[in-house]
Amino acid sequence: MAELRYNPLLDDWTMVASHRQHRPQMPKDYCPFCPGSGKVPDHYEVYSYNNDFPALMPEPPEPDPVGSDLYRTEKAYGKCEVILYSPDHTATLPQLSVEHIEKLIDLWTERFVELEKDPRHQYVMIFENRGEECGVTMPHPHGQIYAYSQMPLKIRTELTNCKRHHARTGRCLICDMNREEKAFAQRVIHENEDFLAYLPFFTDYPYGLFIVSKRHMTALSDFTPAEKRSLAEILKEMTGAMDALFDRLFPYMMVLHQRPVNGEDVGDYYHFHIEFYTPLREANRIKYYASSEMGAWAACNPQSVEETAGKLREAHRLFTEKEGRR
């Protein structure tokens, strides 16, 4: 079964993909993403791979006949791709060179531009799940891309509030956030010529980092080559800082927030940024989303980000010093 089911309480859609539970457990000595597997080219640097068990499909089956006027169903139309970061099975994002990460960003951009051509796609989300704490079972370095035929609720909410702020002030909300964070300074971790990295005032994770473009841009396809290199640099440094924080592989969910595709022009009020959802609060302690947070969306951060920002800044210093000695 693969279909979309409408949630009338939230005006949202749930993806149902029961076929994914039949994904096989890979043998310990086999990885489909490694050269020589027969699944990917024998030689590649970065590579786009169609997901073998997609939740969304270009040619989805008809939904099961269980819906009604209240409980609507739709075909699970869309696309799910895997983006392989490297042929090296054990490499992680901060271990890749800046030049290699630039090639990854170019591939992200290429796939975003291609997927937005389909008029049935409404939103293209590029993301990475990293670490066992985030449910990762395939350690080979990779991320994913989902092209949705229905606008995800969180993105829709973000767009609504950005539009409302622009209507009230004439300014971009995320540009204003950048100014506020730079002026306060204590939550800023690092900046380079084109990007700012900070733990925003409101984040619900102790290390819930944002990476935000300084220039008002809405998508990767707006970036200059120099801006792509700056993004590669800050991605390497920030993920490296996370690993240096507790001297271990730091689990995270990384999501690129870009403009919608095939819809309203949001160029005046929306702004490219990357959000990290980071489950660790300490080296071996998880920040769980509990009943209040899941049931009421009443976020609760167990630590002050003015304090955790200082720890992440120090970890960034340690990482960059180590890189400089190599």
Active site (annotated) includes residue 142: yes
| Residue in 100, 140, 142, 273 annotated catalytic | 142
139 pLDDT band, cuts 50/70/90, is: confident
135 pLDDT band, cuts 50/70/90, is: confident
Indicate the residue type of 9.
L
pLDDT of residue 127 exceeding 70, the answer is yes
Structure tokens at 258: 């870009």
Residue 259 phi/psi, 5-degree rounding, is -65, 155
Alpha-carbon distance 151 to 147, whole Å?
A: 10
Which pLDDT belongs to residue 133? 85
Find how far residue 258's CA is from the centre of its chain: 10
Percent of all residues in the chain with a pLDDT value above 90, rounded to a whole number = 89
Q: What is the pLDDT of residues 64-123, one digit of tens each?
A: 999 999 999 999 999 999 999 999 999 999 999 999 999 999 999 999 999 999 999 999
pTM (predicted TM-score)? 0.95
pLDDT of residue 184 exceeding 90, the answer is yes
Q: Which of 255, 147, 277, 270 is nearest to 208 (CA)?
A: 277
- Asked if residue 234 lies in contact with residue 272, where contact means CB atoms within 8 angstroms, the answer is no
Q: Which of 36-40, 109-113, 195-199 has the lowest mean pLDDT?
A: 36-40
The stretch 223-243 carries a mean pLDDT of 98
Q: Which domains does the chain have, with CATH numbers?
A: 2-22+30-325 (3.30.428.10)
- Asked if residue 87 lies in contact with residue 66, where contact means CB atoms within 8 angstroms, the answer is no
Q: Which of 111, 115, 135 is nearest to 123 (CA)?
A: 115
Which pLDDT belongs to residue 2? 87
